[in-house]
């Protein structure tokens, strides 16, 4: 029985450690996957501030992890056994919850999450409406958005940020992409951040960039659509309703069915 994505060649640009499940889901639908990470995730280097936070978790009521990378980066410095039993956990996305469970076990009723999986939705969670006097630790990457912290502080919480990883442009020459696509050029590109979108064009030559602008892109927000248009994209744009692997797979399949 043919798959819904037979004949499609999909360029997966997610960071290397975040590609496997999404690629497997799309391959199961018949697509051919090309791996081309456009962001490299690097754990933060140990420093006194990180050590203070790791040793002072008892002062916090809630830890919020903005991504799977934030979970993995945090537990480089945090001993899971030192996390207080009373701690609540805010997460953005099912993969973030999965990563957290891998480190501390099932958080159960201590978990705070909301759909769709973004900062705006998490702020709508009932458990984050009345936070006056609470201490909240937000674990994130370098130069992350301040929306969560600003809004929670406005609600009366004392908010600290902890940057546990950074995103870097991979070190790769133009030939790496040209070799990857020599047998078959992508028919669709998956891009899950504005930073990744810009990085892609740092990693390909002008000829490849021109071709990439003429094929469909899967994005995860309307904000990204605006950035894509500013970069000169001139083909179909698919905006997934969820940044999860299953949400991206469903968005691509729905689009393919309507073609």
For 108-134, what is each residue's pLDDT tens digit? 999 998 776 778 889 999 999 999 999
Q: Are 179 and 35 in contact (CB under 8 A)?
A: no
Question: What secondary structure does DSSP assign to 92-136, as a single string?
Answer: SSHHHHHHHHHHH---GGGEE--SSSSHHHHTTSGGGT--TT-EE
What per-residue confidence (pLDDT) applies to 1?
Answer: 52
Least confident of 44-48, 137-141, 186-190: 44-48
Residue 160's DSSP bridge partners are: 137
CATH 3.40.50.10090, applies to 42-167: yes
Say whether pTM exceeds 0.85: no
Beta bridge partners of 64: 90, 138
Question: How far apart are the C-alpha atoms of 150 and 106, rounded to whole Å?
Answer: 29
Q: pLDDT tens for residues 18-72?
A: 999 999 999 999 999 999 999 999 988 888 888 888 899 999 999 999 989 999 9
- Report whether pLDDT(83) > 90: yes
Extract the tokens encoding 185: 């050029």
Task: Give span(s): CATH 3.40.50.10090, the chain.
Answer: 9-39+169-258, 42-167
Q: What is the pLDDT of residues 200-242, one digit of tens each?
A: 999 999 999 999 999 999 999 888 999 999 999 999 999 998 8
Task: Tell me what pLDDT residue 234 has.
Answer: 95
41 in Cβ contact with 69 (< 8 Å): yes
Q: Give the per-residue pLDDT at 2.
A: 64
How high is the pLDDT of residue 50?
87
Q: Please tell me the predicted confidence (pLDDT) of residue 164.
A: 93
Q: For domain 9-39+169-258, is the CATH number 3.80.10.10?
A: no
CA atoms within 13 A on the CB side of 233: 24
């Amino acid at each position: 029985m043919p798959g819904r994505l037979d004949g499609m060649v999909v360029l997966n640009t997610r960071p290397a450690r975040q590609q496997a499940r999404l690629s497997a889901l799309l391959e199961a639908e018949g697509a051919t996957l090309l791996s081309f990470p456009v962001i490299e995730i690097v754990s933060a280097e140990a420093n006194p501030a990180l050590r203070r936070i790791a040793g002072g978790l008892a002062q916090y009521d809630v830890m919020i992890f903005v991504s799977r990378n934030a979970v993995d980066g945090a537990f480089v410095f945090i001993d899971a056994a030192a996390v207080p039993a009373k701690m609540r956990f805010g997460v953005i996305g099912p993969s973030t919850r999965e990563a957290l469970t891998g480190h501390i076990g099932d958080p159960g009723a201590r978990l705070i999450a909301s759909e769709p999986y973004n900062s705006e939705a998490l702020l709508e969670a009932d458990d984050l409406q009345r936070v006056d006097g609470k201490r909240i630790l937000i674990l994130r990457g370098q130069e992350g958005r301040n929306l969560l912290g600003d809004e929670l502080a406005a609600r009366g919480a004392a908010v600290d940020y902890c940057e546990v990883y950074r995103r870097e442009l991979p070190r790769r020459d133009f030939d790496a992409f040209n070799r990857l696509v020599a047998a078959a050029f992508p028919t669709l590109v998956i891009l899950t951040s504005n930073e990744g979108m810009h990085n892609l064009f740092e990693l390909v030559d002008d000829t490849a960039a021109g071709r990439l602008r003429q094929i469909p892109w899967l994005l995860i927000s309307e904000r990204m659509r605006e950035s894509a248009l500013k970069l000169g994209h001139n083909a179909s744009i698919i905006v997934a309703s969820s940044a999860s692997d299953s949400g991206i797979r469903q968005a691509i399949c729905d689009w393919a069915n309507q073609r």
